[in-house]
Amino acid sequence: MTKKNIVVVGTQWGDEGKGKIVDLLTDRVAAVVRFQGGHNAGHTLVIGDKTTVLHLIPSGILRENVDCLIGNGVVVCPAALTKEVTQLEETGLKVKQRLKISDACPIILDYHVALDQAREIARGKKAIGTTGRGIGPAYEDKVARRGLRAGDFKNMFKFKEKLAAIVEYHNFMLVNFYKTEAVKFDQLWEKCKIYEKLITPMLADISSLIANYNAQGKNIMFEGAQGTLLDIDQGTYPFVTSSNTTAGGASSGSGIGPCELDYVLGITKAYTTRVGAGPFPTELCYDVEKDVGDEIGKILGTRGHEFGATTGRQRRCGWFDAVALRRSAQVNGLTGICLTKLDVMDTLVEIKVCTHYIVNGKKTLLPPTSADEYELVEPQFVTMKGWQSSTLGVNSWDDLPREAKKYIRYLEQEIGVTVAILSTGADRAETLVLADPFDS
């Protein structure tokens, strides 16, 4: 069998269950590469009675023989990295020996967090719904060519000079525009001296490491964070994240040539969720704190445990949106889909699928390109019969309820992509592989 470079991406607004699938498939890879996002990601891995939540470190870290690489497309928060490394090593994992970080990774520091939070407060009701962790401002510094990068830790004399200039620049905005407190340089500098000791030994040329694995015929997994509809270019702008979450980001965010990517696996919930503000045509509104709203929305949110692994925020829930998935299939070049959380809908009498939108009286099969245009969208649904029996842990296609199989086949027909993997529960073992990506 020849080597395979497989890209795993979310096809909706994130939280589709990417971490579990990356962890599952890494038994046959030499390395897992994160290629975008930051510690705003939350990947939950369940193995037996043990649950592990990862934010920045690639999901392959639980496999002892797998190297974990953080590519240049990821913004790295040293404080968050320190916490995550410490927690994992306390469980016996040898993280520092297996984790490598690109010299070119932008660094998130205190002023990024302060700016992120100040902006959301200033926006008021128009807030984007960021995690407030400095992700966006760090990407801004990268594009503006003023940011510090992981490789700058190799020369702390120059690092200090650059840090002083950046702190002065951002403090001007924090104090004079947002009317909030300035970031104290001396305190931040002391933190950076500690961060240097952690990060410098793990710095590496990630692109060259990838090339070496490929030259040896070894498989590599490329792990995305967030989801396609949050892509800075392809998503529901401006209610998006600050990086390229699509399969193309695997190339630019790690340093591998696009022709070296062999398979794109799109992780897709059997329904739809979204965290934070922004368009959501198929939403079934339910407020968990007030216990009011749509009953189906309540069932999906409760049975699906729809709360963010990173933030704890309630996820908005709704019916499957085939219109959105067609866009994801298009911009990612999806080879196959992994359908997750089918069991969440086991009790439903009827299930709806959004097949198309009506916009200005016209039928459209693809979504708009900006959030403003969604105001005109009227989602159109097909109603299907529910299966009302358990699919949890089912390990054979033949054992699935007939109506559940009909639902899966209907989704394939609507989006034009085959379901290659079916996740039948949160545990690593609760997975039905219908078409192995490594054998395709």
The secondary structure of 9-36 as a DSSP string is EESSSS-SSHHHHHHHHGGG-SEEEE-S
Cite the beta strand spans of 42-135 per DSSP E: 43-47, 50-54, 67-70, 99-102
Could you say which of 39, 43, 112, 170 is catalytic? 43
* Distances in whole angstroms, Cα of residue 419 to Cα of each of 175, 296, 415, 422: 52, 25, 10, 7
* Distances in whole angstroms, Cα of residue 187 to Cα of each of 117, 118, 167, 190, 194: 20, 20, 12, 5, 11
pLDDT computed for residue 344 by the predictor: 95
170 is catalytic: no
pLDDT computed for residue 308 by the predictor: 63
pLDDT computed for residue 92 by the predictor: 86
* Distances in whole angstroms, Cα of residue 1 to Cα of each of 26, 67, 95, 335, 438: 16, 21, 29, 18, 8
pLDDT computed for residue 48 by the predictor: 61
pTM of the model: 0.92
- The fraction of the chain above a pLDDT of 70, given in percent, is 96
pLDDT computed for residue 2 by the predictor: 76
For residues 22 and 24, what is the distance between their CA atoms, to the nearest angstrom?
5
C-alpha 67 chain-centroid distance: 20
Could you say which of 15, 141, 152, 343 is catalytic? 15
The three-state secondary structure class of 43 is strand
Contact 70, 58 (CB under 8 A): yes
Q: Which parts of the chain have pLDDT scores under 50?
A: none
For residues 296 and 198, what is the distance between their CA atoms, to the nearest angstrom?
47
pLDDT computed for residue 120 by the predictor: 87
Peptide bond into 368 cis (omega under 30): no
How many separate helices (H) and strands (E) can be counted in the chain? 12, 20
103 is catalytic: no
For residues 173 and 328, what is the distance between their CA atoms, to the nearest angstrom?
37
From first CA to last CA, the distance across the chain in angstroms is 10
> Which one, of 211, 159, 214, 204, lies nearest residue 185 by Cα?
159
Burial of 32 (0-12, 13-18, 19+ CB in 10 A): buried
pLDDT computed for residue 128 by the predictor: 74
pLDDT computed for residue 49 by the predictor: 65
